[in-house]
């Protein structure tokens, strides 16, 4: 991440103002760069580079490390822009003069913990390179490993105008799969970039209660921490840190379940303590396994019971356990009701009915009700072109059921509008029309989808008569050429057969077989033949569904931005990175203040 132009301007102005005040008491920290490298045991080596302008006031810089909770701080070293390596004094005497502390550093024992100190030295632009170790930064919890640490806290003397911290493992890399990260107490961002946790401020620090608080959670096995804490990362670190912040815990986390699964590791490599721990875990796993066996048995029992129940239903409805239709039926099923027929198909096997076949069957029936007219015209070259003319929508037409009547009205109205001024419908115009007005079509699409939803009935609610009518006709249409009497030769009845053949998804094959045994059908029902040969109904259905899918997924710019904001917030709260939370971060280790005195 690059520092913003605004931040650069702020830094330049701060430097100019400080230079103009040379010899004054004021100090400024223009930039703070931190690098933290964590080794396999969870210990960290920290490098801080502070670009400052020093005034004449005070004698030393300091970094307090309070609230360490079992952590340790040591191995301090300091150098400056001249390359001078500072002498380490043990113990550090805070009461010496500025001249006596120049080019020297040390660790003082504060009232609440250690304080890293170094002499200010000369006034003017200065760069201090500060190195130290943090032992036991990463702690082990029962669900995962991690830390909540305040790496910088502004205190009296000077507040950093800009800060950036990079945290990386000594071996391997942080990834969204093995690491979650959150940041608190500053305006800025935190991300996982190129295998590192990177946090950066967007505004200068202005108050002493601000700082760089980083909460990180790691999969088990990424580190092998020396220290273990009772409880979960969720309860011990995450919940206290989230309190008062604008991060949101997920519902499962509020229920006490963690959000980052551990990958596990071999505890035998970690010494006798972890080996003993593994033995306890192993015993627990064995107990869980023994408890799981009855559960598995029950699942299998009910699974077998489900198969038995299905076999019984098949025997009741079809007369055999396999659920195969053995008898033909020439009867139009369920008084011609396409919706009820679709319910039966779905209850037996949901794959037996598709939205495309449902719409295509309704469109086929619309031609029978003269909601769509077929006509031919010459294209000027002697060829005949088939056209589909949509008359104005009709109201209160007789239909086979409320669902079908409403669905026909909706489709008819959309076809009428899509056809345009010439009232001739090209199948693709259904999709194009919906795409032109996606927001306006949302309610229509919801109504169409609702009218085609047929998941209400269960297999137990079906009767043998219903199943025999539906699957008996389907069997007849698939196999009517095998009948000795060659089936039924009645135009009106075959028109209805073709409606149901369309619903069953077999219209093409049925028409092909019908022409073989009844060649005169095309001449007796020319429009029906043209309709089937042109594949008009399935094509209209396909374009209609294409338009519906577009409408369902369409977003206005404002809606898209709102969705992306929700996704960013969800990713951010789950530890995937994003803006920091200015509030929260409670329960952290470290901090205490850092400045000059």
- Using CB atoms within 10 Å of the CB of residue 273, give its burial: 0 to 12 exposed, 13 to 18 middle, 19+ buried: exposed
> Three-state SS for 579?
strand
Cis ω on the peptide bond leading into residue 425 (within 30° of 0)? no
What is the C-alpha to C-alpha distance for residues 31 and 411, in angstroms, rounded to an integer? 66
Q: Looking at the predicted structure, is the pLDDT value of residue 423 above 60?
A: yes
**What rounded mean pLDDT belongs to the chain?**
87
Number of other residues whose CB lies within 10 A of the CB of residue 491: 12
The answer to whether the pTM exceeds 0.85 is no
Q: What percent of the chain clears pLDDT 90, i.e. is strictly above it?
A: 67
> Three-state SS for 1?
coil
Query: pLDDT tens, 561-576?
Result: 999 988 889 999 999 9
Lowest mean pLDDT segment, chosen from 129-133, 139-143, 382-386, 544-548:
382-386
- Taking the domains of the chain in order of start, what are their residue ranges? 5-253, 266-324, 334-551
The residue-averaged pLDDT of 405-428 equals: 93
Query: pLDDT tens, 257-267?
Result: 544 443 333 33
Number of other residues whose CB lies within 10 A of the CB of residue 234: 22
Least Cα distance to 234 among 143, 301, 112, 367 occurs for 143
What is the C-alpha to C-alpha distance for residues 90 and 129, in angstroms, rounded to an integer? 19
Phi, psi of 237 (to 5 degrees): -120, -50
Query: pLDDT tens, 468-524?
Result: 999 999 999 999 888 765 567 888 899 999 999 999 999 999 999 998 888 888 888
- Using CB atoms within 10 Å of the CB of residue 306, give its burial: 0 to 12 exposed, 13 to 18 middle, 19+ buried: exposed
Q: Looking at the predicted structure, is the pLDDT value of residue 81 above 80?
A: yes
Query: pLDDT tens, 115-143?
Result: 999 999 999 999 999 999 999 999 999 99
Number of other residues whose CB lies within 10 A of the CB of residue 83: 7
Would you list the DSSP string of 169-231?
ESSS---TTTEEEEEESSSEEEEEETTEEEEEESS---STT--EEEEEEE-BTTB--S-B-SS
Query: pLDDT tens, 195-239?
Result: 999 999 999 999 999 999 999 999 999 999 999 999 999 999 999
**How many helical (H) and strand (E) elements, i.e. helices and strands, does the chain have?**
18, 20
Query: pLDDT tens, 265-311?
Result: 333 333 434 444 444 555 566 566 666 555 544 444 444 445 678 88
- According to the model, what pLDDT value does residue 261 have? 42
Q: Determine which helix (DSSP H) or strand (DSSP E) holds 431, and give its type and residue range.
A: helix 428-436
Query: pLDDT tens, 361-381?
Result: 999 999 999 999 988 888 778
Q: Looking at the predicted structure, is the pLDDT value of residue 18 above 50?
A: no
The residue-averaged pLDDT of 403-428 equals: 93
| All residues at 6 or more sequence positions from 329 whose CB lies less than 8 Å from its CB, including other chains | 468, 469, 472, 473, 475, 476
Query: pLDDT tens, 440-463?
Result: 999 999 999 999 988 778 899 999
What is the C-alpha to C-alpha distance for residues 152 and 325, in angstroms, rounded to an integer? 76
What is the C-alpha to C-alpha distance for residues 477 and 324, in angstroms, rounded to an integer? 15
Q: Which fold would CATH assign to domain 5-253?
A: Immunoglobulin-like (2.60.40)
> Three-state SS for 395?
coil
| All residues at 6 or more sequence positions from 520 whose CB lies less than 8 Å from its CB, including other chains | none
């Amino acid at each position: 991440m690059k520092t913003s132009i605004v931040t650069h301007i702020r830094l330049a102005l701060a430097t100019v103002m400080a230079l103009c005040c040379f010899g004054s008491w004021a100090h400024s920290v223009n930039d703070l760069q931190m690098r933290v490298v964590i080794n396999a045991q969870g210990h960290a080596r920290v490098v801080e580079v502070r670009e400052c302008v020093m005034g004449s006031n005070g004698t030393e810089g300091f970094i307090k490390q309070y609230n360490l909770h079992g952590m340790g701080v040591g191995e301090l070293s300091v150098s400056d822009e001249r390359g001078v390596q500072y002498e380490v004094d043990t113990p550090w005497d805070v009461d010496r003069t500025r001249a006596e502390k120049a080019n020297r550093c040390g660790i003082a024992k504060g009232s609440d913990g250690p304080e890293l100190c170094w002499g200010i030295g000369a006034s003017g632009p200065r760069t201090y390179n500060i190195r130290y170790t943090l032992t036991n930064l990463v702690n082990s919890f029962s669900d995962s490993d991690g830390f909540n640490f305040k790496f910088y806290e502004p205190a009296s003397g000077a507040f950093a105008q800009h800060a950036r911290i990079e945290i990386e493992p000594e071996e391997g890399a942080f990834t969204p799969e093995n690491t979650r990260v959150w940041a608190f107490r500053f305006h800025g961002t935190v991300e996982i970039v190129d295998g590192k946790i990177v946090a950066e401020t967007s505004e200068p620090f202005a108050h002493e209660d601000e700082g760089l608080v980083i909460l990180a959670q790691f999969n088990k096995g990424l580190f092998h921490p020396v220290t273990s804490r009772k409880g979960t990362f969720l309860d011990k670190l995450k919940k206290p840190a989230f309190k008062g912040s604008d991060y949101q815990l997920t519902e499962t986390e509020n229920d006490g379940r963690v959000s980052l699964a551990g990958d596990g590791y071999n505890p035998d490599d970690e010494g006798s303590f972890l080996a003993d721990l593994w033995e306890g875990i192993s015993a627990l796993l064995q107990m869980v396994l023994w408890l799981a066996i009855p559960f598995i048995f029950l699942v299998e029992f009910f699974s077998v019971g489900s198969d038995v129940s299905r076999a019984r239903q098949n025997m009741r409805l079809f007369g055999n356990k396999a659920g195969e239709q053995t008898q033909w039926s020439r009867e139009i099923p369920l008084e011609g009701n396409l919706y009820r027929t679709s319910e039966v198909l779905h209850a037996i096997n949901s794959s037996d009915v598709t939205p495309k076949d449902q719409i295509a069957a309704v469109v086929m029936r619309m031609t029978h009700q003269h909601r769509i007219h077929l006509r031919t015209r010459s294209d000027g070259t002697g060829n005949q072109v088939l056209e589909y003319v949509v008359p104005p929508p009709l109201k209160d037409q007789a239909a086979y059921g409320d669902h079908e009547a409403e669905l026909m009205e909706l489709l008819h109205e959309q076809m009428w509008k899509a056809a345009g001024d010439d009232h001739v419908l090209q199948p693709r115009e259904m999709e194009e029309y919906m795409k032109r007005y996606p927001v306006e079509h949302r309610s229509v699409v919801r109504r169409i989808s609702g009218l085609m939803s047929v998941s209400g009935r269960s297999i137990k609610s079906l009767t043998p008569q219903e199943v025999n009518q539906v699957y008996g006709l389907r069997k007849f249409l698939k196999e009517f050429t095998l009948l000795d009497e060659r089936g039924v030769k009645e135009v009106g009845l075959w028109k209805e057969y073709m409606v149901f053949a369309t619903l069953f998804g077999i219209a093409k094959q049925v028409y092909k077989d019908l022409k073989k045994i009844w060649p005169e059908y095309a001449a007796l029902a020319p429009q029906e033949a043209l309709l089937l040969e042109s594949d008009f109904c399935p094509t209209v259905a396909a374009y209609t569904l294409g338009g519906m899918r577009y409408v369902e997924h369409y977003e206005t710019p404002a809606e898209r931005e709102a969705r992306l904001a929700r996704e960013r917030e969800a990713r951010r709260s789950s530890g995937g990175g994003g803006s920091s939370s200015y509030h929260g971060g409670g329960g952290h280790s470290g901090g205490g203040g850092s400045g000059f005195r």
